[in-house]
Structure 1
Amino acid sequence: MDTTNPAVSPLRQRMLEDMRMRKLEPRTQEAYIRAVRKLSAFLKRSPDTATVEDLRNFQLHLVDTGTSPITLNATLTGLKFFFDTTLGRSELMVRMQPVKLPRTVPAVLSVQEAAALLAATRNIKHQAALSVAYGAGLRASEVCRLKVGDVDSQRMALRVEQGKGAKDRYAMLSPVVLARLRSWWRVGRAQGKMLPGGWLFPGLDPMDPLTIRQLNRAVHDATAAAGITKRVTTHTLRHSFATHLLERKVDIRVIQVLLGHKRLETTSIYAHVATDLLREVLGPLEQTPPA
């Protein structure tokens, strides 16, 4: 984000500096600024003049205009930073309450569908990247930010640097994923795209990494080519990774570590979509005498 633009107001400049001091991610900074901009548009005046009643009416406005729970809560988080940190007036947010998010289960591919999707990926770089997303359970952002040096073939691990929550961790590296990475590395090096110590999946400019948008576009194309009718994103491959491990009786606490989840509760959602586990359960009706 540009923090030196002379057209930026002193108030916004201070908020930008507050976020920069705390090293917030660029996307987080953009979301927080967007939240304050929404409030300004609603008030039709500077956001630092808002009262408790103004903020309450603003939340009612968001609800009445059909704002989704996720967007609404994200807006409140941005406003909380603005009032608590930038203005030092935390008392203004006392009546702003986040809404409860609906509990949903993620879409998951079968093992056969995941294999078909990867096989239908025409670009070898995209196939290797999606193989990492499914074979190691990485987030799209984590896949895109991998560097060549993050592949540890001796320990059969992938180093994930500064994943979600600004934490480093190691992810699993299977022989199949390693073989696909080596195939891509040979092709990428021959094409002059693999720079020493550079990105494992470079973008059009080798100095830049592959973007999340480009990766999701590759998933959509492969999904259509494989004839899969489910709505699939790169994150669906991560969900599928966790679900398939659980169905293979891998301890859920191990899966939690591999996914980089802070809380076991987050990982436990996959118990609701592991259909192989459900099929193994003997229902009470099966034990009753035949009619």
Structure 2
Amino acid sequence: MADSQRPLLEQLRDLLRSRHYSLRTEESYLDWVRRYILFHGKRHPREMGSDEILAFLNHLATELNVAASTQNQARYALLFLYRELLGVDPGDLKGVQAAKQPRRLPTVLTRAEARAVIAQLSGVYLLMAQLLYGSGLRLMECLRLRVKDLDFQMLQVVVRDGKGMRDRLTMLPASLVDPLRTHLVGVKQVFQQDLAEGFGEVYLPFALARKNPGAARSWAWQYLFPADQRSRDPRSGLIRRHHVHEGALQRAVHDAVRASGISKHASCHTFRHSFATHLIESGYDIRTVQELLGHSDVKTTMIYTHVLNRGGRGVRSPLDE
């Protein structure tokens, strides 16, 4: 329950951290609650309810024309505020004018295009792009990989706390085993140097740091793709070596796409789309692809059947007959 003696946003931040929400979600929820309060003339949320929530969400859809995912994120943030912090249930908010859900097909690279983009990369960015395409990882799933998440014998990658806080297994391309082993030699040297200088501690998820204090300095828990420099943890204030920043990989892939001469609007996530499409194109079962991607609903995976060269239905143009 909320404490009237402390700032509301401070209480909300503490609650989100106690529930182990990611830093990104924390920042997003705080921003939406802040915008909600400002929208209603800085009134305290306790003085408002479902009518004010509906007015704000409808404003996002009708005046700002935000995407459906953006409106949903704002809705979840406000429901968390009221239900979890203030202890008030604002109802099901049936009067929300849903933002339009765009029906867009994902951008997919051909096999040749994917290889052309990857060929423009080198070093750690090359390895990360190969995992995005070869294992179907999301951007942050790749960056958050730990040393222990690679299984070279079983040729699999353990994706922990993926979207929806679900773990899953996906494939590890056999062609990456030797490059990754070589990469780990360099990572271990950096880790040992950090230890020698009195550092070497890495961020641990949830309560693991309390349950197993030694794990933070263990080799197994180190990031597979550590940052070049140590930095201060925004939550604990401790100096640690975090993983490579997502912006660095995004810029590298963006530059690689331009250098390859490909005109498609491709990004890091395009590799994941291409991974799924090429597996289906090769005849793999849709359920298998669903599990590798970590989709909770097969309908999400089915979108890739519509971007195959034959339209996903094997229909042949009359011009080609």
1:141 deviates by: 0.7
Q: Which moved more, 1:208-217 or 1:112-121?
A: 208-217
Question: What displacement does 1:15 show?
Answer: 2.1
Q: Does 1:273 align with 2:274?
A: no
More helix by share: 1
The correspondence for 1:262, drawn from 296, 302, 319, is 296
Aligned twin of 2:87: 88
Match among 9, 15, 29 for residue 18 of structure 1: 15
SS of aligned partner of 1:73: helix
Q: Contact 1:201–1:210 (CA<8 Å) still a contact in 2?
A: yes
Secondary structure of the corresponding residue to residue 275 of structure 1: coil
Measure, in 2, the Cα distance between the counterparts of 1:227 and 1:128. Answer: 21
Preserved contact between residue 52 and residue 95 of structure 1 (Cα < 8 Å)? no
Superposition deviation, residue 88 in structure 1: 2.1
Letter in 2 for 1:229: S
Q: Which moved more, 1:271-280 or 1:43-52?
A: 271-280
Partner of 2:44: 46
The question of 1:223 aligning with 2:257 is answered yes
SS at match of 2:223: coil
Greater shift in the superposed pair: 246-255 or 159-168: 159-168
How far residue 96 of structure 1 moved from its aligned partner, in angstroms, is: 5.0
Using the TM superposition, name which of 144-153 and 130-139 deviates more: 144-153
Query: Could you tell which deviates more after superposition, 175-184 or 212-221?
Result: 175-184
| AA matched with 1:38 | R
- Structure 1 CA distance, aligned partners of 2:54 and 2:152? 55
| Stretch deviating more after TM superposition (270-279 or 202-211) | 270-279
* TM-score for both structures, normalised by structure 1: 0.86
Q: Could you say which residue in structure 1 is the equivalent of 2:227?
A: 203
Distance 1:95 1:282, change over 3 A: closer
Code of the aligned partner of 1:150: D
Matches of 2:265 and 2:223 in 1, distance apart? 29
Q: Distance in 2 between matches of 1:283 and 1:230?
A: 24
Distance across 2 between alignment mates of 1:99 and 1:233: 25
Rounded Cα–Cα distance in structure 1 between residues aligned with 2:242 and 2:49: 44
Per-residue deviation at 1:160? 1.5
Instruction: Quote the Cα distance in structure 1 between the aligned partners of 2:319 and 2:262.
Output: 34
The alpha carbon displacement at 1:32 in A equals: 1.1
- The CA deviation string for residues 114-143 of structure 1, in whole angstroms up to 9 with x for no partner, is 00011111x311101110000000111111
Instruction: Tell me the SS of whatever aligns to 2:160.
Output: strand
1:232 maps to which residue?
A: 266
1:21-56 per-position Cα deviation (integer Å, ceiling 9, x unaligned): 322212111111111101111111223212433333
Corresponding residue SS for 1:163: coil
3-state SS, counterpart of residue 254 of structure 2: helix
Distance 1:208 1:225, change over 3 A: same
Distance 2:181 2:261 in 1: 28
Compute the TM-score of the two structures, normalised by the length of structure 2: 0.78
Cα distance in 1 between the residues matched to 2:24 and 2:133: 25
**% of aligned pairs identical?**
35
Q: CA RMSD in A?
A: 2.4
- Check the 8 A contact 1:159/1:169 in 2, yes or no: yes
Q: Which residue is equivalent to 2:234?
A: none
Matched residue of 2:124: which SS? helix
| 1:204-232 deviations in Å (ceiling 9; x for gaps) | 12621112211111111111111112111
What is residue 103 of structure 1 aligned with on the other side? Answer: 103
Distance 2:72 2:313 in 1: 37
| 2: CA distance, partners of 1:47 / 1:39 | 9
Which one-letter code corresponds to 2:56 in the other structure?
A: F
The letter of the residue matching 1:153 is F
Q: Hey, what does 1:147 align to over in structure 2?
A: 146
